[in-house]
Amino acid sequence: MRARKVPAAAFRNGLLLLACLLLVHACSKTEKGPYATLPFSDDFERSELGRYWYGDPGWRIKDGQVFSEGTANRPLWLRARLPREVVVEFDARSDSTRGDIKFEIFGDGKHHASGYILIFGGWKNTISTIARLDEHGEDRVELRQAGLVKSGKTYRFRLVRRDKVLKWYIDGKLFLDYYDSEPLHGPGHDRFAFNDWQSPLYFDNLSIRPLEPSAKNQ
């Protein structure tokens, strides 16, 4: 029996339908609720990441902390919508002399570098930065100083966004700030994530809350 040829238009339409179904399936795995509400805190004292977290399977709970051995910029996203003005605090540690502690804020909940990328001791522990949409971008704020991240040391990060300025504190001291004339916020720019490239990283004791009026002079 001779096989019948499928018309080119029908074949293309079939491929388009398949692509749409795959996209819907992928979105359902990431965007389906429930969503955490603010204020939000997490001490990760459990065996699984839980319903509010999603991302690369390389992320897991280890010794009551979020852990990654290196996910190549595939973040662990929190299902929570951030307000424009917010305070985020957490502990962070690298167990490598490479440092490279990184996280993202005001992203889209799907893609690396969809918001602000903050890196402590990146590029083999030589550069720290706050970048907007591109960690290699020319508009990033950076500090070039080698060896800032000490292997095995736990740091307390605090990030405050007020109006058009992001301020990043480490262990209670202002580390870097970033002025953005067009701040990222709202749908597509309202998520937080831990991230990693190739270093063994630990994150713990996360707290996220709206910036209160009494704190807006920070």
Domain assignments of the chain as residue spans, ordered by start = 38-215
Residue of 193, 185, 188, 186 lying closest to 79 (CA atoms):
193
CB atoms within 10 A of CB 64: 14
pTM of the shown model: 0.84
pLDDT above 50: residue 107:
yes
pLDDT above 50: residue 26:
no
Enter the tokens of residue 165.
């300025």
* Confidence tier at 23 by pLDDT (50, 70, 90): very low
Span 124-172, pLDDT tens digits: 999 999 999 999 999 999 999 999 999 999 999 999 999 999 999 999 9
Q: Which CATH architecture has domain 38-215?
A: Sandwich (2.60)
Mean pLDDT of 93-108: 98
Span 201-216, pLDDT tens digits: 999 999 999 999 866 5
Please tell me the least confidently modeled range out of 28-32, 57-61, 83-87, 199-203: 28-32
Enter the tokens of residue 200.
């063994």
148 and 125 in contact (C-beta within 8 Å)? yes
Burial per residue of 46-63, b for 16 or more beta-carbon CB atoms within 10 angstroms, e otherwise: eeebeebbbbeeebebee
Residue tagged 């300025």 (tokens): 165
